[in-house]
Structures are given as structure tokens and as C-alpha cells.
Amino acid sequence: MRDIAIGLHYVHHEYEPMVLHCDIKASNVMLDSSFRGRLGDFGLACIVDVNRNSATGIGGTRGYMALEYALSGKATRQTDIFALGVLILEVVTGQRALIHRASDDDDVHITDRVWRLHREGRLTECVDPVVLAAFSEDDEQLALDVCDDLRRLLLLGLACSNPNPLDRPNMPEVVRIIAKSAPPPEVPLMKPRFVWPPPEGEDSDGDDSAGPSRMSNLDGSAASTSELQWHTQISLETTTAQASGGHASFQLEHSVYVSAPGGLASEIILSGM
């Protein structure tokens, strides 16, 4: 994961102008001859002007798209970091982003399951048994070190996939955590509620990219803005809307669909309404 994080850090903070990948997922990661991870397939990526920090348009894959990306149509560094968090959880747990055969009805998305076990104090039970079996039982210290590293990655994956973009770490922090030069992130036991729109004055997305909008369906094929119909599986449970500022607060637990013919979200179907 370190090589993938370093690559994403480069296009986010070192390369000029900034590049947003917009489709980080397991199938877009390649291994070189030394089995080092390489982030590939920049087909949906976009270059962002130096005086801006977001791009308009929807593109990506179900399970890896941040909620604010699906609702606002803005790709940002934070939306890439959300997808990276999902990827980290997939690698450590051996599970797919969308769990089609969940033992618990609430575990529809991988973050649902990992956050539930984190809340129950059973975070390490998320680890793929194949990963643990790769290390000798005779070396107890090695096994303890590996478990500590995997727990660090699970916490990082949860932090990166936090429902609220302002609470996610940035790429410099992610790289430091993976390199063990910074402590693991502090992750709440309960999955945070998604607040939309962001509180006034705290929107870090900035202006839209001045370039043309990029639109694609969630299977990766191109589509025009006027013809686009996209569906992204997300987890929302309606709770009481906040009285101030008109912000709606959602608990991310149950899977529903957001349907947006014609581009932006025109209909939101929420469980519990």
C-alpha cells in the first residue's frame, strides 16, 4: 500500500498541475516485477487548474465513490482518499467493497462491517485469514508485529473512508502513517453521520475545474451529461435533520440507491423515510 499511497501523494501534491485519479480500485492496481504496487488506468483522471482544487463530473465505480462525490458531482483530493480507504480495507480483509452475501444485513459495504467490528472491539477479526496464515506460528513476535501493522492499516482505511470529507486525512498524513512515522489515526467507535451539505464556511472543495465536465457511468464507459443515468450504492439511514443551517444528517448503515437522471441528484431514496 505504501507505493500506491506515494503515487497518489505525487499526483495530488507534487505534480503540477494537480491530477485527480477518480477511479481508484483494486482492478486498477498493478504489480511490477518486484511485486510493488502501481496505480494505473488514469482513463477517468482529470487535471485541475492551479487556482482550483476540484473538477465537475461523475465518474468512478460503485463501492468506491464518496457520498459527497455522488451528490455534488465534484471530484476532489478527498474523494480520491475515500476510494483509497476502501482499497486499503479490501486488501487487509480480503473482502470486496460491496458485500453481496453479508452475514449481517447491515454489512452491505465493507466499511459497514469493519466499523461494526471496530465498535465491538473485534477489529482484528476483519483480517483476511490468508494473510495471517502466511506468517509462521513459530515466530510469535513476528505475528504480533504483523497484527499491529494490519490493525494500523484497518484504522487508516476507516479514517480515509470517513463519510465526511473534512474528517479524512490528507495524503501526506496517509504516507506518514503507512511508513510508521506517525501514529495510527484516532477513529471513533461509531461510524460518523454524513452531513450534507457541509457546514457553511467549511467546504474545502473550492471552485469547479474550468475544464470540460467529465461524465461516465459507474461501469466505466463514457456517457454524455444529458444522457447520463447513474446509480451508486451507498449507505444511508435517515435521522432527524439538524435544526440549524438546514443540514441533513444521515447515519450510514443501510444500503439504498441514489438515482440521478440527467447529471446531478434529482431523487434521493433513503431507508427509514
Q: Which residues form the catalytic set?
A: 23
Report yes or no: 79 and 56 within 8 Å, Cβ to Cβ. no
> Distance of alpha carbon 98 from its chain centroid, rounded?
12
- What are the residue ranges of helices labelled H in the chain? 2-9, 67-72, 77-93, 110-119, 129-133, 140-160, 171-178
Amino acid letter, 224: S
Residues whose CB is less than 8 angstroms from the CB of residue 261 and which lie 6 or more positions away in sequence, other chains included = 228, 229
CA distance linking residue 230 with residue 264, whole number of Å? 9
Q: What grid cell was written down for 52?
A: 482550483
Residue 27: closest CA among 102, 112, 87: 87
